Structure 1
Amino acid sequence: MECLTCLNLSGERRISPGPYIYQGESWVVDHAYPTSHPGWLVILPRRHIEALHELSKEEFQELAEIEYKLVQAMHTDPAVQKEYMMCFAEGQGFHHVHIHVVPKPANLPEHLKGPRIFELLKVEGEQALSAEALTAFCEEFTRKLQAVR
């Protein structure tokens, strides 16, 4: 089965039109795409794994540090009420472990709360963030992330 995450990480077929937000030893942070929700981030292990138990202790430690910094940077936006974090790695072409980190705004409609927020990934064309808007978001968020200690 073709791994879309591996193709993305190799640069062969990028998923997001924006730049990576973080590139570490074992992990990369990208922006999900297409989506209408700015800030929907995805943490990707550099190596192909399909289950969390395949991670080393060192990879888990780096992951925890990244998760901490991402949610702290998200929380600098006063519109963000809380952050969602999910890991399923079950989608067609996406068995490669990946962790979604999603800002939940205070005004999120009831029908999109909890796991239903994934509806915001089911957009196409003009409903999705433009490549320019997404790139601007990624660049600004990278600056916020670098300020987190």
Structure 2
Amino acid sequence: MNCLICDHNAQRFTLPPREHVASDDHWRVAHAFGTGTPGWLVLAPLRHVTAIAELTRAEAELLGSWQVRLSRALPAVTGCAKTYIAQFAEAEGFAHVHFHVIPRMPDQPEERRGPRVFDGLGRPEEDDLSPTHRDELAVRLRRELTRSR
């Protein structure tokens, strides 16, 4: 099985901040790549799971807490007005369940709101946030998550 999320989960404590914003015994948070949206996060279970119904009770109980904590930290770090949360896990190579926690900025154009926000993912490399920028955001988010526990 070739799963990028599982590969990263296995080495989470040696990953750069952008790939390990935070974690616990069941979940890891990373900053998304292929996007120019600062703070676009991915929340994934540490265990390989391909459907939400496969989550254990412990994973499920922590899921809501993570989503709320990330949705509280993002406005403090990015200035977003709200967050969107979505889960599909069907793209080639990304069948591992993962939740997108996406900041929606106050001035975000109407054509990039709601489900159309995904037009901002999978962008060409030159439109992507730099690894350094994603690391800086990750460190700030980690600090905010720790502060607001």
User: Common fold, TM-score beyond 0.5?
Assistant: yes
1 or 2, which has the higher helix percentage? 2
Tell me, yes or no, if the aligned pair for 2:17 and 2:138 is still in contact at 8 Å: no
Give the equivalent residue in structure 2 for 1:130: 130
Moved beyond 6 Å, runs of 4+:
14-17
Give the equivalent residue in structure 2 for 1:54: 54
Greater Cα shift, 59-68 or 35-44: 59-68
Q: Which amino acid aligns with 2:23?
A: Q
Give the equivalent residue in structure 1 for 2:74: 74
TM-score when scaled to structure 2? 0.90
Give the equivalent residue in structure 1 for 2:31: 31
Q: Which amino acid aligns with 2:91?
A: G
Give the equivalent residue in structure 1 for 2:107: 107
Give the equivalent residue in structure 1 for 2:85: 85
Could you list the per-position Cα deviations for residues 47-66 of structure 1 after superposition, in whole angstroms to 9, with x for gaps in the alignment? 10101111111111111211
Of all paired residues, the percent bearing the same amino acid is 34
Tell me, yes or no, if the aligned pair for 1:16 and 1:33 is still in contact at 8 Å: no
Q: For 2:17 and 2:25, how far apart are their aligned partners in 1?
A: 22
User: Following TM superposition, by how much is the alpha carbon of 1:8 offset from its aligned partner in structure 2, in angstroms?
Assistant: 2.5
Are residues 1:95 and 2:95 paired? yes
Q: For 2:87 and 2:126, how far apart are their aligned partners in 1?
A: 27
Q: Which amino acid aligns with 2:120?
A: L
Structure 1 residue runs without a partner (length 5+): none
Q: CA RMSD in A?
A: 2.2
Q: Which amino acid aligns with 2:119?
A: E
Greater Cα shift, 124-133 or 40-49: 124-133
Give the equivalent residue in structure 2 for 1:118: 118
User: Following TM superposition, by how much is the alpha carbon of 1:5 offset from its aligned partner in structure 2, in angstroms?
Assistant: 1.6
TM-score when scaled to structure 1? 0.90
Q: For 1:3 and 1:76, how far apart are their aligned partners in 2?
A: 32
Could you list the per-position Cα deviations for residues 59-92 of structure 1 after superposition, in whole angstroms to 9, with x for gaps in the alignment? 1111121111111111325731111000111111
